[in-house]
Amino acid sequence: MVGAGRIGTPLIRRLVAAGHDVLATDVRAERRPAVEQAGARWSDDVPAGAEVVLTVLPGAPELRELVLGSGRLLERLTGGALWIDLTSASPELGQECARAAAEHGIAYLDAPIGGGVRAMERGEVTLYVGGPGVHVDAAAPLLASFAKAVRRTGASGTGYLTKLLINLLWFGQAALTTEALLLAQRHGVAPEAMRDILLGSAGDSAFVQHHLPALLRGDYLADFGLDRCVEELDAVERNAGKANLPHPVMSAVTDLHRAALDHFGPVDGELLAAAWLELQAGARLSEDR
């Protein structure tokens, strides 16, 4: 396994708990104690001849460098090996990885993770898997050892695209809900009261049900970097442009997050676009209880 960060480390624990013998590596040698505490063996690099490799990296740039750049991951694998990437990347990069894997005789799946760190700790993540069905079938027992659900999406790259689209909708719901609650608050309707009204209404969403309470506590969800949010939104907006499809709402969501990144910098917080809206409004949703 390559990558022992926020989500990679609990993934190691789940794999070990399922009875797998895990050999893990990370570019940060200081991650070795965490890897060993999670029950895996440490390696300074991907061992030559590995039959199954999982990669879970911070984002597309790191994935590209590992596979298509100087990391030369595929050159260390033997023909017939299975490579499953769990990173959130772009569909274009997925297609590049699929071509490179095929040239080396490697079976490849893009299987980004939905649910986040806490869901991984509980074994409740969803995987969005792109790639040939025969490879998905071969990987199914391994994937089931740490994921609650495996959603087959189609050809290589569609797993990445599906994850990007789900995240786009979540970011958009978070932003528009923040705007709505700030307006309600300005007119005397408390944010908690407005959430209660939204539940079960036409304005309800997974964000309102599961994540809005964090925002109302002043928690901006620091499991993921704002720069990574923008990276994902840029990728899906770019894809829509290449497909020659209208995407004005998508662009508005992306521009809002870019503005938040310009203000706050590349810090952790998936809901910092909401914080940027609060800052412009001169009010915080977490202040009025």
CB 206 within 8 A of CB 167: no
For range 145-167, the mean pLDDT? 97
For range 120-148, the mean pLDDT? 96
**pLDDT score at 289:** 44
Evaluate if residue 288 carries a pLDDT over 60: no
Percentage of the chain exceeding pLDDT 70: 99
User: Where do you find CATH 3.40.50.720 in the chain?
Assistant: 8-156
For range 53-58, the mean pLDDT? 96
pLDDT digits (tens, 9 = 90+) for 214-263: 999 999 999 999 999 999 999 999 999 999 999 999 999 999 999 999 99
pLDDT band at 276 (very low <50, low <70, confident <90, very high): very high
CB 46 within 8 A of CB 73: yes
**pLDDT score at 122:** 94
How would CATH label the architecture of 164-281? Orthogonal Bundle (1.10)
**For the residues of 121-143, what is the DSSP string, one character each?**
HHT-EEEEEES-HHHHHHHHHHH
Q: How far apart are CA 77 and CA 108, in angstroms?
A: 12
User: Where do you find CATH 1.10.1040.10 in the chain?
Assistant: 164-281
Domain 8-156 annotated CATH 3.40.50.720: yes
By annotation, the residues acting in catalysis are: 163
pLDDT band at 132 (very low <50, low <70, confident <90, very high): very high
